[in-house]
Amino acid sequence: MVVSAFKRLFEVVSDPFDFAGQTVIVTGGSRGLGRAMAIGLAAQGANLIIASRNILACSKVVDEVLEIGSNAVALEFDAAEWSGMDDFVERAWREFGRIDVLINNAGLSQKPCTSIDLTEEAFDAVMAVNFKGAFRLSALVGSRMVRQGSGSIINISSLGSIRPAPSYIVYAAAKAALNAITTAHALEFAPQVRVNAIMPGAFETDMAAD
């Protein structure tokens, strides 16, 4: 039965990894895991919107995407700034006329420390980037995807969200909150929009090195 179900799926979708004609936003797309996802999607034909606070770094990734043969633009984006989200979404939609996939990848990790040593500033920054920004951007993009009739939102969470350690407790809490809104938004935006989370372990990136 399972084999026949997969056979029917592939009869409908000849290449499930073909992103030709689809537009993908990757927040935090200028480096690390975000850049890797952007390059991988570009290789499958996707149009990319590379978004982060560092517009110059985003532009370098755009150049890499263009060399592959896909289209891409760089847009400045601060996941901690709620007030700038509406303008960012408007600009993103104008670039390609639609958004098919949103990848909430922008992240900020706290420096390892005890709970008593964590500052309010660090607490607020980690929660804003990892949770508040993803919530607001998903709300704006997800509601447009519903009107569009289709879409997918992918939240990049962490294994730390279900296996928290004292040294990064606020980061783990922010990612656990991200897991919660993944479930809630999946219900809110269904059936037109799929919402899922990926919970990777550690990656050897520059953020991890810090």
Give catalytic residue positions: 171
Tell me which residue of 55, 56, 49, 52 sits closest to 73, measured CA to CA.
Answer: 49
Q: Which segments of the chain does DSSP mark as H helices, in order?
A: 2-12, 32-43, 55-68, 85-96, 120-127, 133-148, 169-189, 206-209
Considering only CA atoms, which of 127, 125, 139 is closest in space to residue 177? 127
- Dist CA 54 CA 185 (whole Å): 28
Residues in CB range of 17: below 8 A, 6 or more apart? 44
CA 117 from chain centre, in angstroms, equals 30
134 in Cβ contact with 177 (< 8 Å): no
